[in-house]
Amino acid sequence: MPAVRFLIALAAVVALHFVGARISDDLPRLLDLFLVMVVFYGLQGDLILGLAVGLLVGLVTDAVTGGLYGLHGFADTIVGYGTAYAAQRLVIRRPPGIFLMFALAAAAQQAILVGLVVMLLADPALPDLTWMLIRVAATGVAGVLFVLIRRRSLKRIEVWRRSRTSKLK
């Protein structure tokens, strides 16, 4: 069942990416929904899950965005593992901590991507620093919003389940 939920979430992220790219050409540069998914799964604290989700989502990102295949796969694998490792050692429950985790993950991903491009390409086209900083902040805000909306939804579902079962008795 968790694998099905993961695939549904990945399909939703791909669909949102395409819709966002259709709405504005700058939206994929502004926000990396794939990274939000990697960090969210990494926050569960399972190292193997962080590695696997980072690798799979990164490879899907490379396939969807048309970049050099394997760059995001490598970067997101490291970010997923690092997020899971940090989640094992830190208690991250409040919005500032969640924002910091998502923002640090975005900064780490951008640094890894720039390092890989510089090492692998003869004449690398480096991204604009302003867009990189905007992307880090936007990823942090999107991560906080996603986690808070998910928590609220789970609370509503739990209240509904309790009220439904109490009415049946």
Rounded mean pLDDT, 120-132 = 86
Give the pLDDT confidence of 107-116 residue by residue, as tens digits.
999 999 999 9
Which letter does DSSP use for residue 44 in this model?
T
Give the pLDDT confidence of 80-106 residue by residue, as tens digits.
999 999 999 988 888 888 999 999 999
Question: Per-residue pLDDT for 153 more than 70?
Answer: yes
What is the model's pLDDT at position 139?
A: 93
Please report which confidence band the pLDDT of residue 150 belongs to, taking 50, 70 and 90 as the band edges. Answer: confident
Question: Per-residue pLDDT for 66 more than 90?
Answer: no
CA-CA distance, 9 to 18, in Å (whole number)?
A: 14
| Residues 6+ away with beta carbon under 8 Å from 131 | 29, 30
Which segment of 70-74, 109-113, 123-127 scores lowest on mean pLDDT? 123-127
Question: Per-residue pLDDT for 27 more than 90?
Answer: no
Question: Per-residue pLDDT for 165 more than 80?
Answer: no
Please report which confidence band the pLDDT of residue 15 belongs to, taking 50, 70 and 90 as the band edges. Answer: very high
Q: Are 139 and 105 in contact (CB under 8 A)?
A: yes
User: What's the CATH code, domain 2-168?
Assistant: 1.10.1760
Question: Per-residue pLDDT for 168 more than 70?
Answer: no
Q: Can you say whether the dihedral through the CA atoms of 67, 68, 73, 74 is positive or negative?
A: negative
Q: Are 39 and 102 in contact (CB under 8 A)?
A: yes
Q: Token digits for 167?
A: 């009415």
Q: Are 151 and 126 in contact (CB under 8 A)?
A: no
CA-CA distance, 2 to 80, in Å (whole number)?
A: 17
Work out the percent of the chain whose per-residue pLDDT is above 70. 97
CA-CA distance, 150 to 153, in Å (whole number)?
A: 5
- Separation in Å, CA 58 to CA 14, 62, 78: 12, 6, 10
Count of beta carbons in the 10 Å neighbourhood of residue 23: 9
Please report which confidence band the pLDDT of residue 18 belongs to, taking 50, 70 and 90 as the band edges. Answer: very high
Which letter does DSSP use for residue 128 in this model?
P
- Separation in Å, CA 10 to CA 107, 151, 157: 22, 19, 22
Question: Per-residue pLDDT for 21 more than 80?
Answer: yes
